[in-house]
Amino acid sequence: MTDVGDRLDRHGDTRQRLLLTALHLYAREGLHAVSLRRISTEAGSRNSAAMHYHFDNKLGVIQALLDMVARELGRIGLALRSERRAQRTLRDNCRLILRPLVELPARQAWGGDGVRFLSRLVSEGDADIAAMVNRLTAPFWRRLDHALAEQLPGLPAEIRRLRLMFVSTNVVHGIAETAWLPYTPVGDLSHFDQDTLLDHLVDYLIGGLQAPSTMNH
């Protein structure tokens, strides 16, 4: 087994080892830079067609990875439910939304790769990949949009939804790229702890959603 497969899944079965190797390579290099044959090789499989056997094709791999990441985010969210209050502010809602994603790297050995993988997905222009992501996330985004409609009644629906997609995409990229914080062009910003980073991400998300609209309607 290669170092990647050994580090990510020392005791796992072949399918899981292939899946975690794919997650690592996709997160590091992108979805279109890595072949299924290479994933099989780096996972230590002697069968070059192992990925096709277990996942059929690249879309099957991406779907399996989406399901794996979503299950873990769901578990983290479930563990946080005891902290939820009956009446929540916009800030409460945004913090609860982002916290599972921020905590994922600490909860799973593959969590950092999982966040970077999601960051890759939200930048994809591929219709098939977008359809898979939307099948998984559409109910969540619709619930959030409904909550925002109540808390931001003065913002037209079309602008609210556009801002939600813009800001949320940028937040996912920001969470995925925290390793860059020591090397920013304005200095080392790596001293923020996880909770402080989460608070600043929430501030950024709320600021984008609440900004006055300059468009005439």
Q: What is the DSSP letter of 178?
A: G
Residues constituting the chain: 217
Share of the chain above pLDDT 90, in %: 49
Structure confidence by residue, pLDDT tens digits, 145-161? 888 888 888 889 999 99
Tokens of 59: 């879309």
Q: What is the pTM of this model?
A: 0.84
| pLDDT for residue 83 | 62
Residue 185: what pLDDT?
Answer: 95
Rounded Cα gap, residues 62 and 133, in angstroms = 9
pLDDT at 144 over 90: no
Alpha-carbon gap, residue 133 to 44, rounded angstroms = 29
Strand partners, 184: 187
Residue 86 banded pLDDT, cuts 50, 70, 90: low
**Structure-token match 């909770």, residue found:** 195
